[in-house]
C-alpha cells in the first residue's frame, strides 16, 4: 500500500516533494485526533472483535484509492489516505494492547514482539519486490486489490483466535456502553479516563519512554520523501516502481535482522534495561545509515545498503519501544499508553517529512537533506545515551530483576 500510494502521488503531481509530504500529513492529522479514542476503545471493549471489524473496514476503504487513481484526482487520493489513517489510528493501539493478553511471560512476550516485527519485515521484503514488479507490469491498481485481500485474510485469521480479550468485566462493559450512547456521559467518561491516564503516566517513573518511538520516527521521517526522489526515473514509471520495490526490500531486511541481532546479544526478557540499551544502539545504527546515504547520495546500490543499515536501527527502535511499554504498563492503561506512543510517533514522522519536502522544493540538495537527518539522528543518540546512563526509564533498578547479572548486557552497557 505504501509503495502504491507513493507512486500514485508521484504520477499525479510529478516533481513535487511537497505533494509527497502532504500525503504523510494526510495520514497523520486524523491519527492525532482519532488514536486516543482507539486507546479508550482498547481499554473498554473486546480487542479481538474490534480488530476484525477494523480489518473489514480497511479492506473496503482501499477502493477509495483505486477510484482516486482512475479519476486522476490527487485531492481524492489524499482523502483516501485520511480514511485509511483513521482506521489505522484506531487499529494500532488495539493490536498492540492485545499481545500481552495472549502472551504473559516476559521472555515469551519478547519473542512474540520480535516474531511480529520479523513477520512485518518479511512481508516488506517480499512485498517490496511484489509491489514494485506488480506496479511496473500491471499498474498500481493491482497493488491496491492485493492490499484489500490481505485485510480480509487478517480478519479471517483473527476470527480463529479463541478467547475473550476484555480488560473489564461484562457488567462494566454494559454500563460503559450505556454511557457511551449518551453524548454528555460519553464525553465525561472519555475525559475522566484520559485524566486518569495522564496521572498514571506522570507517576509511573517510565513516562519518558513514550518518546522513544517518536525519536526514531523523527529520524526516519525524511526518508518518506527522499526515497521517492532518489529512485525516480524521469519518464519511466515502470523502472521507478521496480527500483522502489528493491529499495523497500532492503529496508525490510534491515528491519528484520536488527531485532534478531539485538535479541541474540543484548536483550533479556526479565531486564527491561536491555531493551532500552538496544534502542540506544539502534539510534547509533540510524545515524551511521544516514551518514552513509549522505556521502553516497548518487549511488542506488549504496542507497540500498545504507538504508539497510539505517533500518537495522529503526527496527530495534520500533519493536523494542513498544515491547518496553508492553512490559512496564498496567493492562488497565495499555491501550491509552500505546495510543499516545503512536500519536507522538506520527507527529514526529510528519514533521520530518514536511521539513524534508520543503527543503527539497526550496532547492536544497538531496545530500544536504541526508546530512540534516544525520544531525538529527546523532543528537537523539547522544540524548538517549545520556538518559540511559543516568539510570532513567527502564534502566531503573526497580524495573529489573537484580538476580543473575547478564554479562553481555552489562559489557555492552559499559561501552555507552
pLDDT tens figures, 321-345: 988 888 888 878 887 888 788 888 8
Pick 88 or 96 by higher pLDDT.
88
The whole-angstrom separation of Cα 276 and Cα 320 is 7
pLDDT at position 310, please?
95
Helix axes 334-361 and 74-102, enclosed angle (nearest 10): 150
pLDDT at position 131, please?
63
Beta bridge partners of 271: 268
3-state secondary structure of 156: helix
Q: Confirm if 376 and 44 have CB atoms less than 8 A apart.
A: no
The whole-angstrom separation of Cα 27 and Cα 268 is 35
pTM (2 d.p.): 0.70
3-state secondary structure of 268: strand
12-66: per-residue pLDDT in tens? 776 666 676 677 777 777 767 777 777 777 777 788 888 888 899 988 888 888 8
140-157: per-residue pLDDT in tens? 778 788 888 888 888 898
pLDDT category at 408 given cuts 50, 70, 90 is very low
The whole-angstrom separation of Cα 143 and Cα 136 is 10
Mean pLDDT of 176-185: 52
Mean pLDDT of 398-412: 51
Pick 178 or 216 by higher pLDDT.
216
pLDDT category at 116 given cuts 50, 70, 90 is low
Q: Which three cell numbers stand for residue 171?
A: 457488567
pLDDT at position 412, please?
41
Residue 21 domain boundaries? 2-415
- Check pLDDT > 60 for residue 414: no
Mean pLDDT of 81-102: 80
Please tell me the number of Cα atoms within 13 Å of 221 on its side-chain side: 31
Q: Confirm if 253 and 236 have CB atoms less than 8 A apart.
A: no
Mean pLDDT of 74-95: 83
Question: Can you give the CATH number for the domain in which 201 is found?
Answer: 1.20.1250.20
3-state secondary structure of 271: strand
283-329: per-residue pLDDT in tens? 999 999 999 999 998 899 999 999 999 999 999 998 899 888 888 88
What residues have CB less than 8 Å from 230, skipping those under 6 apart? 297, 300, 303, 366
The whole-angstrom separation of Cα 410 and Cα 416 is 10
Share of the chain above pLDDT 90, in %: 18
Number of domains comprising the chain: 1
pLDDT at position 243, please?
83
234-286: per-residue pLDDT in tens? 777 677 778 877 888 888 888 888 888 888 888 876 788 999 999 999 999 99
pLDDT at position 362, please?
85
The mean predicted confidence, pLDDT, of the chain is 79
**DSSP code, position 166:** -
Of 149-163, 165-179, 208-222, the least confident = 165-179
Q: Confirm if 357 and 18 have CB atoms less than 8 A apart.
A: yes
pLDDT category at 82 given cuts 50, 70, 90 is confident
Mean pLDDT of 97-122: 69
> Phi and psi for 10 in degrees, rounded to 5?
-60, -35
Cell 505504501 belongs to residue: 2
Q: Which of 88, 207, 71 is nearest to 141 (CA)?
A: 71
The whole-angstrom separation of Cα 84 and Cα 60 is 10
Q: Which of 143, 139, 98 is nearest to 116 (CA)?
A: 98
pLDDT at position 113, please?
67
pLDDT at position 404, please?
38
207-218: per-residue pLDDT in tens? 899 999 999 999
pLDDT at position 127, please?
61
pLDDT at position 183, please?
54
Q: Confirm if 219 and 14 have CB atoms less than 8 A apart.
A: no
What residues have CB less than 8 Å from 415, skipping those under 6 apart? none
The whole-angstrom separation of Cα 110 and Cα 276 is 13
- Check pLDDT > 90 for residue 83: no
Residue 183 host element (H or E): helix 183-203
Q: Cα–Cα distances in Å, from 283 out to 227, 310, 343?
A: 19, 9, 20
Q: Which three cell numbers stand for residue 325?
A: 511499554
Amino acid at each position: 500500500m505504501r509503495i502504491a500510494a507513493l507512486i500514485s502521488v508521484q504520477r499525479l503531481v510529478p516533481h513535487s516533494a511537497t505533494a509527497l509530504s502532504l500525503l504523510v500529513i494526510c495520514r497523520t492529522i486524523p491519527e492525532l485526533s482519532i488514536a486516543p479514542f482507539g486507546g479508550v476503545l482498547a481499554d473498554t471493549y473486546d480487542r479481538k472483535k474490534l480488530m476484525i471489524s477494523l480489518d473489514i473496514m480497511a479492506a473496503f476503504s482501499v477502493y477509495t484509492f483505486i477510484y482516486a487513481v482512475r479519476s486522476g484526482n490527487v485531492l481524492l487520493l489524499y482523502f483516501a489516505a485520511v480514511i485509511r489513517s483513521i482506521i489505522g489510528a484506531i487499529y494500532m493501539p488495539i493490536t498492540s494492547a492485545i499481545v500481552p493478553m495472549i502472551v504473559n511471560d516476559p521472555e515469551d512476550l519478547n519473542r512474540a514482539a520480535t516474531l511480529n516485527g520479523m513477520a512485518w519485515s518479511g512481508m516488506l521484503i517480499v512485498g517490496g519486490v511484489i509491489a514494485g514488479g506488480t506496479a511496473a507490469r500491471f499498474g498500481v491498481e493491482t497493488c491496491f486489490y492485493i492490499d484489500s485481500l490481505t485485510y480480509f485474510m487478517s480478519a479471517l485469521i483473527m476470527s480463529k483466535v479463541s478467547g475473550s480479550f476484555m480488560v473489564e468485566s461484562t457488567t462494566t462493559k454494559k454500563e460503559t456502553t450505556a454511557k457511551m450512547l449518551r453524548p454528555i456521559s460519553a464525553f465525561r467518561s472519555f475525559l475522566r479516563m484520559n485524566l486518569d491516564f495522564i496521572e498514571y503516566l506522570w507517576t509511573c517513573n517510565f513516562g519518558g519512554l513514550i518518546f522513544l518511538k517518536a525519536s526514531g520516527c523523527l529520524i526516519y521521517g525524511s526518508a518518506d520523501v527522499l526515497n521517492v526522489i532518489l529512485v525516480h526515473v524521469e519518464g519511466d514509471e515502470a523502472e521507478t516502481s521496480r527500483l522502489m520495490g528493491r529499495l523497500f526490500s532492503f529496508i525490510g531486511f534491515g528491519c528484520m535482522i536488527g531485532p534478531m541481532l539485538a535479541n541474540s546479544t543484548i536483550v533479556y526478557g526479565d531486564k527491561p534495561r536491555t531493551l532500552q540499551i538496544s534502542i540506544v544502539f539502534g539510534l547509533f545504527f540510524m545515524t551511521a545509515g544516514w551518514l552513509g546515504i549522505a556521502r553516497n547520495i548518487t549511488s542506488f546500490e549504496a542507497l540500498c545498503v545504507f538504508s539497510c543499515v539505517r533500518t537495522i536501527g529503526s527496527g530495534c527502535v520500533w519493536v523494542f519501544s513498544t515491547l518496553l511499554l508492553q512490559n512496564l504498563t498496567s493492562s488497565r492503561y495499555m491501550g491509552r499508553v500505546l495510543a499516545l506512543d503512536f500519536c507522538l510517533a506520527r507527529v514526529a514522522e510528519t514533521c520530518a517529512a514536511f521539513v524534508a519536502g520543503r527543503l527539497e522544493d526550496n532547492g536544497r540538495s538531496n545530500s544536504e537533506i541526508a546530512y540534516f537527518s544525520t544531525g538529527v539522528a546523532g543528537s537523539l543518540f547522544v540524548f538517549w545515551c545520556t538518559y540511559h546512563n543516568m539510570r532513567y526509564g527502564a534502566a531503573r533498578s526497580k524495573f529489573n530483576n537484580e538476580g543473575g547479572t547478564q554479562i553481555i548486557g552489562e559489557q555492552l552497557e559499559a561501552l555507552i
